[in-house]
Amino acid sequence: MQTLLLATRKGLFVLHGAGTDWSIAAHHFPGEPVTAVLADARDGAWTAALRLGHFGVKLHRSTDRGQTWQEVAAPAFPPKPTEGPWADDTTPWSVDLIWALAAGGPDQPGTLWAGCIPAGLFRSDDAGASWSLNTPLWEQPGRRDWMGGGYDHAGIHSIVVDPRDSRHVTLAVSCGGVWQTRDGGESWTLTASGMKADYLPPENADDGNAQDPHCMVQCAANPDVLWLQHHCGIYHSDDGGQRWIGITAPVPSGFGFAVACDPHNPQRAWFVPAQTDACRIPVDGRMVVNRTDDGGARFQTFSSGLPQRHAYHLVYRHGLDVSADGQTLAMASTTGGLWISADAGEHWTVVSNDLPPVAMLRFV
Amino acid sequence: MVTVEFAPTLRRHVDCAPQLVAPGALREVLEAALLAAPELAHYVFDDQRAVRKHVAVFVNRQMVRDRGVLNQPLAAGDRVLVVQALSGG
């Protein structure tokens, strides 16, 4: 039996299942927007990020798999300075949305990372009882040039902690490129070399600080391998993001938001194509999943079990996940569809067509 | 004393009975009332301690437009009501 958590516009759903037989077991925070969820493998705790329409972002934590929840502190910016280089900052110093939650390493019990819109990175060392803004990243001068990509302000949506070294953290900013720290957040380096932004004037296309990664994932078995779905296509790195290699756009499209990579096989990754930037629906109304097994040289397109006529599902950046077995995948859309595959994405089974818009799903 | 009351839509998240606090500027009054339920403050204020844009503060049935300074003086007998504005989908 496996467990899957779905963060949706109308609450957090818990699903249990095995193979392709899955069902909803619990619904928490009914009616409330849940933007991110973390199932912490270190201690079994679940953390849910809410974005209350009137009352701001909140964090709730459960140590008993959702039987009870306790509200804990939410990340919050410090008072905006009234003098100095950031006094005229046009970005609001107030968290609008928690977009990413990540656990620190096994040697850092209680450490959590939160990526937000606006693009503040926050760290807790007490399991969410308190949070502090990472000022080296927030105050690095390039942050002033970050742009919103679909939201009014830039945000951090992907955070990966190196399993070999917890002080090595890589994150992706939409739009602000990929940034890495090797000293636990005391200093940051822009590592977006190789990416191209075709939405910019040609002479600016290589500007790493202006890139729009949609989602970035890391191979657990080989953490130097990163996969990234970018606004302008798919990228792959086998040197920890020092150099990004653009992948020839697969059929039917290289555009999309979500990416998942096999935790055991660094050559295998999945993508969910949408038509184009300007038309964010499945190509020809046919929903498909693309998989590469050879590092992006070739792709197979799978459609079995997915709607093939007048399907307008968009799988948003956190709407695809693979379980630790490398075979079970879950995928959910912003129009409330949820599908499961038990054979590495080759066949899919619908679990529901009637869920709220899904922001994130994660296997426990 | 000034009466400060939080609407049920707020109290369903963090309960707080109506508070009687000393007269003063609106910010002082709100901050004093929130001492009874410090966890409620993050629901009323954003990170910069401004009233959230989807929260409305009324003084004696008059909505307060100012969200940041909150220096409106309040006198004994005034009533403050904090409610949620209409928004969402």
d(CA A101, CA A7): 12
Q: What is residue A179's three-state secondary structure?
A: strand
**Measured in whole angstroms, how far is the alpha carbon of residue B16 from the centre of its chain?**
11
pLDDT higher than 70, residue A137:
yes
pLDDT tens digits, one per residue of A182-230? 999 999 999 999 999 999 999 999 999 999 999 999 999 999 999 999 9
Contact A114, A77 (CB under 8 A): no
CA dihedral A235, A237, A242, A244 (to 10 degrees): -30
C-alpha to C-alpha distance for A340 and A323, rounded to whole angstroms: 11
Nearest-5° angle of CA A130, CA A317, CA A180? 55
Planar angle of CA A2, A34, B54, nearest 5 degrees: 170
Over the stretch B38-65, which tens digit does the pLDDT of each residue have? 999 999 999 999 999 999 999 998 999 9
A9 Cα distance to chain centroid: 16
Segment A144-183, tens digit of pLDDT? 999 998 899 999 999 999 999 999 999 999 999 999 999 9
The structural domains of chain B, with segments of one domain joined by +, span: 2-84
Q: Which residues contact A321 (CB under 8 A, 6 or more apart)?
A: A4, A260, A329, A330, A361, A362, A363
Quote the distance between the C-alpha of residue B23 and its chain's center: 14
Distance from B25 to chain A by nearest Cα, in Å? 21
Which numeric CATH code is attached to B2-84?
3.10.20.30
pLDDT in tens, A309-345: 999 999 999 999 999 999 999 999 999 999 999 999 9
In tens, the pLDDT along A283-295 reads 999 999 999 999 9
Enumerate the β-bridge partners of residue A28: A12
Res A16: pLDDT: 98
Q: Which residues of B touch A56 (CB under 8 A)?
A: 42-43, 46, 52
CA of B43 vs chain A CAs: smallest distance (Å): 5
Determine which of A32, A55, A98, A152 to mutate to test the interface with B (most B C-beta atoms within 10 Å): A55
Predicted confidence (pLDDT) per residue in A16-43, tens digit: 999 999 999 999 999 999 999 999 999 9
Alpha-carbon distance A185 to nearest alpha carbon in chain B (angstroms):
22
Tell me the one-letter amino acid at A200: L
| A79 lies within 8 A of chain B by CB | yes
Q: Do A76 and B47 touch (CB under 8 A)?
A: yes
- Whole-number pLDDT of residue B66: 95
Which tokens belong to A316? 């948003």
Alpha-carbon span A170 to A175, nearest angstrom:
15
Query: Which runs of consecutive H residues, i.e. helices, occur in A235-330?
Result: none
